[in-house]
């Protein structure tokens, strides 16, 4: 590979760089999905949008942390098999 000639540099990038890029790119998508699915029912239950936004922010953060960890495990596991 021309960009990363050393295998250790590739692993370092795979462990640190790609999950960060994934999280930045997909957080708005996850936010919109959770807001579309859970926002209106929560708005009717709670009656105010401020707690709904706070709860959705926490839910989005937890989902993104879980997805990043999942994809790190899957990616590193398949990356180690390719050698």
Note every long-range contact of 4-7, with CB atoms under 8 Å and residues 24 or more positions apart, other chains counting.
none
User: What is the band of 79 on the pLDDT scale with cuts at 50, 70, 90?
Assistant: low
Q: Report pTM.
A: 0.72
Average pLDDT over residues 41-51: 94
Mean pLDDT of 7-32: 81
d(CA 8, CA 3): 12
Residues 59-69: tens digit of each pLDDT: 999 999 999 88
State the average pLDDT over residues 23-51: 94
Secondary structure of the chain in HEC code, one letter for each residue? CCCCCCHHHHHHHHHHHHHHHHHHHHHHHHHHHHHHHHHHHHHHHHCCHHHHHHHHHHHHHHHHHHHHHHHHHHHHHHHHHHC
User: Which pLDDT belongs to residue 77?
Assistant: 66
């Amino acid at each position: 590979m021309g960009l990363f000639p050393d295998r250790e540099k590739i692993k370092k990038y795979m462990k640190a760089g790609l999950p960060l890029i994934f999280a930045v790119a997909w957080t708005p998508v996850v936010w919109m999905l959770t807001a579309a699915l859970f926002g209106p029912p929560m708005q009717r239950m709670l009656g105010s949008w401020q707690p709904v936004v706070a709860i959705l922010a926490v839910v989005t953060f937890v989902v993104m942390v879980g997805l990043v960890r999942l994809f790190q495990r899957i990616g590193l596991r398949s990356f180690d098999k390719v050698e």
